[in-house]
A = this chain, B = another copy of it.
Amino acid sequence: MKIYGDERSGNCLKVRWTCDFLGLGYEWVEVLALTGATDQDWFRALNPAGQVPCVQWPDGRVLAQSNAIIWHLAETSSLIPTDPFARAKMLEWLFWEQYSHEPYLAVRRARIHLMGLDPASLDPALLSRGLAALKVMDTTLNAQDWFSGADFGLADIALLPYTRFAPQGGYDLAAFPAVTRWIGACERHLRLQALVAATL
């Protein structure tokens, strides 16, 4: 399996970390999203939506959308609960991450950390909505240890990268102690310290 991804993208790291956790082999094909590589014809032929990550199997099948990919890779693993309602609650967090978390935390981090823009030039809603998302996470983590039910699982992997990278977007995690504890716990599960440091 080939993973087409940009290693600075949290969406792409979700796929790598899921594979690493499950011991699935892959070839990583680096695609620099910010330089327009995902708009090129060869990439659009692979994924018409023009987005990384996407994965391709040797028989030609292609799957896109980070959370759909990791769901498929992990479907029969311990990362997804077997109880239907617990599974649906995990899916709830995966959709929340893409709609109410990533569009603020990832976008502000990309503009500041990857594109070098002045924070003062950015839409203030990126900051306020990102902080609101972190507050939802912190409140949740005061009542439960994980976003995936009783144990560490796929929703934790999905929420980790852009939460971990939040300080690069100017978000102060000191105001969210439960989130900070959860990041450390996730990293211990994924044995990620070296890998995360390498991608900062």
From A21-29, A96-104, A109-117, A176-184, give the one contacting chain B. Answer: A96-104
- CB-defined interface of A76-100 with B at 8 Å, one 1/0 digit per residue? 0000000011011101101110111
Say if the beta carbon of A136 comes within 8 Å of chain B: yes
Alpha-carbon distance A66/B71, docked complex (angstroms): 18
A91 with B103, Cβ < 8 A, contacts A61-B85, A136-B48, A139-B48 known = no
A95 lies within 8 A of B72 (CB)? no
Which single member of B68, B84, B140 contacts A72 (CB below 8 Å)? Answer: B84
Please tell me how many copies of the chain the complex holds. Answer: 2
Alpha-carbon distance A92/B71, docked complex (angstroms): 10
Closest chain-B Cβ to A177's Cβ sits at a distance in Å of 18
Which single member of B88, B103, B136 contacts A63 (CB below 8 Å)? Answer: B88
Say if the beta carbon of A65 comes within 8 Å of chain B: yes
A140 lies within 8 A of B48 (CB)? yes
Closest chain-B Cβ to A78's Cβ sits at a distance in Å of 17
B65 lies within 8 A of A95 (CB)? yes
Please indicate the chain B residues that have their CB under 8 angstroms from the CB of A139 in the complex. Answer: 48
With A69-B88, A103-B103 known, 17 other A-B pairs at CB within 8 A are: A48-B140, A49-B100, A61-B85, A63-B92, A64-B92, A65-B91, A65-B95, A65-B99, A68-B88, A68-B89, A71-B88, A72-B87, A72-B91, A75-B84, A75-B88, A95-B98, A98-B99
